[in-house]
Structure 1
Amino acid sequence: MRKLKSTRSLVLGSLICCCFFLFQPVLGQNTPMKQGTVERIKVHGKGLEGNLSGDSPDREVSIYLPPSYKTNPKRRYPVVYLLHGFTDNDAQWYGFQTHWINLPNVVNKALASGQLHEMILVTPNAYTRFQGSFYSNSVTTGNWEDYVAKELVANIDKNYRTIPQASSRGIAGHSMGGYGAFRIGQKYPEIFSSVYLLSPCCLSPSENELQNLNNLSRLENIHTPEEVNKADFLTRAAFATGAAWAPNPKKPPFYLDLPTDKGQVQPLIVAKRMANMPIATLDQNITNVKKLTAIGFDAGTQDTNIAASIQVLDQQLNKYGIKHSFEIYEGDHVNRVAERIETKMLGFFSDNLSFEAKKVK
């Protein structure tokens, strides 16, 4: 009987111990995820002054500072310039307005894994009168290419604890922003070392665009900015790219040339548009492209034209033997972009950017 009681005590004690450990919180389970901080400032663009669209040269810029930025005042960080897409703005991406993505939450979640290096992210507000700058130099919309590559970078390096060297700077973007990232990245390897494109638009002309040039004559029936704003997405995009790539300071109220005039295709204007597509200029910029440390790009299977265009980019880079990463995943133009940033893009920059300043000899 005494033996049975002893056995029962042993079993009971074991159960108590098991329950104690089973109901203890898993290490880190209730630990709050470290949060980065977001600042929204204004950065003046000298090259944006006097643009014919009348847009302000004082542009909002949203900045994500990683969790340790406030607690480790001596630490410096690499920077990724992340460019938003057409009809978007920086406020939408950084949680100031409701949108399909909240970038700070995405980055916080990615950093919580402990597998990534911390970095600063910077996104300028490129929303214009035409709902997007296409990050190009134009008298109509202003010199956006110069603004991003030179003025914005200089301002961020001056006012934040960055590692001010090309090997510690990346440029990325979604859709119009992906276009801008490749346009700028292939021209300025002395400023940016790594490039990642998320569903980049407008890299090369699609067969549909070339076949449908005659249909663009409908654009000639639009005469006021209000009519542009009420038009369908493709019409608005045609005016925005026209302002960026075919500006005309003598042609108010839009100050741009359309691909047709009185229903007739204008070969020179079409040539200007094609000349602003990065794959079309890749051969001329190939020396610069070879200087880049890393190039990555992706698109969803349902994003048909864009998926086709990045396959062309893949082929062109392979032709020159340029190393790059490339993936077409199951998805559309936006539904998995947040996931791609979390699981692919941030890791890409964590692997390829330099997190140490070069020593000056």
Structure 2
Amino acid sequence: MMGVLETQEMHSPALEGNPLGDPARRALTVYLPPGYAAGTRRYPAVYFLNAYSGSGRTWTNFSPFSLSVPERLDALIAAGSVPPFIGVFPDGWTSLGGSQWVNSDAIGRYRDFLAKDVLGFVDRTYRTLPKALSRAVVGHSSGGYGALVMGRYHPDLFSHLSAQSPDAYFEYCYLPDLPKTASALLKAGGVDAWYSAFVQRSRETKARGEDFSIISALAMAAAYSPKKGEPLNLELPFDTQTGRLRPEVWNRWLVHDPVRFVPKFIDAFRKMKTVFIDCGTRDEFNLRWGVRMIAEDFKNGGVEVTHEEFEDGHTGVNYRFERSLAVIGQRLVLD
């Protein structure tokens, strides 16, 4: 690469004392464009939010016969397709696999972690242009969901967002996994028993293929329906004995669905200078339809949106960042 990747350690006051006991000290991966060390100019910054089950370091993983996202953005800058910018890869990992980048009484304050602690650290440490017009937030899957969360709450911090295959229309993307979760919890004897066994087998050997649906459902419950005093401080949207959906809890999830909150917070999204959303036509989590609904809501609300579909599924689609960064790069303020 012509640019440089470096790793810093930062302390997050927002994550101190989080319910899962996850570390408040986090690694932060940063991409610095060519010429950064030798110059004095300031740069825009693009924040990359990891997907569920990932971390900040996931972005730099070796990808056989392909390129990592930092390698792709380095090539885009070298080709002149996007202006030089600083890439920031914060660590959103939790003991449940992810945070959805929200503040939760069951997980911790990960929205504050990004919006306050990471942004503050980056602006103090690097030569950024510390203003919303020069900042973008992007992500895929749960990271794309997090980008929408930032647009909802923090248009004063980010003027550009890209949500690629974001979790949306929860009836299609989450409901199919709830019966599987109910069966696993019933067999194990409850949330605590299942989670303890899951952690043990994951460390001693490896997780089972079917474990992903269950741990993901627990993570979503922790994000959307936290409840102190319950196992893992979360409330499930179904009865553990019968599997019957609990409308009062499920409705708490739906409040967090972008299909619901985008229209409600459309004024915040109107402040954005760039909104890019996409999804694969063969997305295995049925996210294509939620993304289409969001695109319609943006358009009906007067938000200029770039909405694209591509012929692929949900995973292995990091190449799509070349497209979203090209759109965002045209609009980043460079001074």
TM over 0.5: same fold?
Answer: yes
What's the CA shift string for 1:249-296, capped at 9, x where partnerless? 2123x2211112332322221111111112211222111111111100
For structure 2, the 5+ residue unaligned runs are 200-206
What's the CA shift string for 1:25-72, capped at 9, x where partnerless? xxxxxxxxx611111112222121111111111121111111121121
Q: How does 1:101-250 map to 2 (within 5 A)?
A: 102-200=68-166, 202-207=167-172, 209-210=174-175, 216-221=181-186, 222=188, 223-229=193-199, 230=207, 231-250=210-229
CA distance in 2, matches of 1:131, 1:181: 18
CA distance in 1, matches of 2:67, 2:103: 28
RMSD value, Cα: 2.0
Look up the match of 1:288.
268
Q: 1:68 is matched with which residue: 29, 35, 38? A: 35
CA contact (8 A) 1:168 1:353 kept: yes
Q: How does 1:203-352 map to 2 (within 5 A)?
A: 203-207=168-172, 209-210=174-175, 216-221=181-186, 222=188, 223-229=193-199, 230=207, 231-252=210-231, 254-261=232-239, 262-263=241-242, 264-303=244-283, 305-335=286-316, 337-342=317-322, 344-352=323-331
Highest Rg: 1 or 2?
1
Q: How big is the shift at 1:152?
A: 0.9
CA contact (8 A) 1:55 1:129 kept: yes
Look up the match of 2:12.
45
What amino acid maps onto 1:287 in structure 2? D
What amino acid maps onto 2:281 in structure 1? T
Between 189-198 and 102-111, the greater mean CA deviation after superposition: 102-111
CA distance in 2, matches of 1:209, 1:179: 14
Q: How big is the shift at 1:349?
A: 2.0
For structure 1, the 5+ residue unaligned runs are 1-33, 357-361
CA distance in 1, matches of 2:256, 2:142: 13
Q: Say how many residue pairs are matched.
A: 317
Identity %: 29
CA distance in 1, matches of 2:221, 2:262: 21
Look up the match of 1:11.
none
Q: How big is the shift at 1:213?
A: 5.0
Change (3 A) 1:212 1:237: closer
Change (3 A) 1:214 1:234: closer
Between 34-43 and 76-85, the greater mean CA deviation after superposition: 34-43
CA contact (8 A) 1:48 1:142 kept: yes
Look up the match of 1:14.
none
CA distance in 2, matches of 1:241, 1:287: 26
What amino acid maps onto 2:143 in structure 1? G
Between 273-282 and 207-216, the greater mean CA deviation after superposition: 207-216
CA contact (8 A) 1:134 1:180 kept: yes
SS of residue matched to 2:318: helix
Q: How big is the shift at 1:140?
A: 1.8
Q: How big is the shift at 1:149?
A: 1.3
CA contact (8 A) 1:48 1:57 kept: yes
What's the CA shift string for 1:309-355, capped at 9, x where partnerless? 111111111111211101101112123x232212x122122111101
CA contact (8 A) 1:80 1:169 kept: yes
Between 260-269 and 203-212, the greater mean CA deviation after superposition: 203-212
CA distance in 2, matches of 1:283, 1:318: 10
CA distance in 1, matches of 2:175, 2:315: 25
Change (3 A) 1:118 1:212: closer
CA contact (8 A) 2:31 2:88 kept: yes
CA distance in 1, matches of 2:218, 2:153: 25
What's the CA shift string for 1:84-131, capped at 9, x where partnerless? 111112212124x66885222111211221232000111111111011
CA distance in 1, matches of 2:271, 2:3: 32
TM-score (norm 1): 0.82
TM-score (norm 2): 0.88
CA contact (8 A) 1:247 1:255 kept: yes
What amino acid maps onto 2:274 in structure 1? A
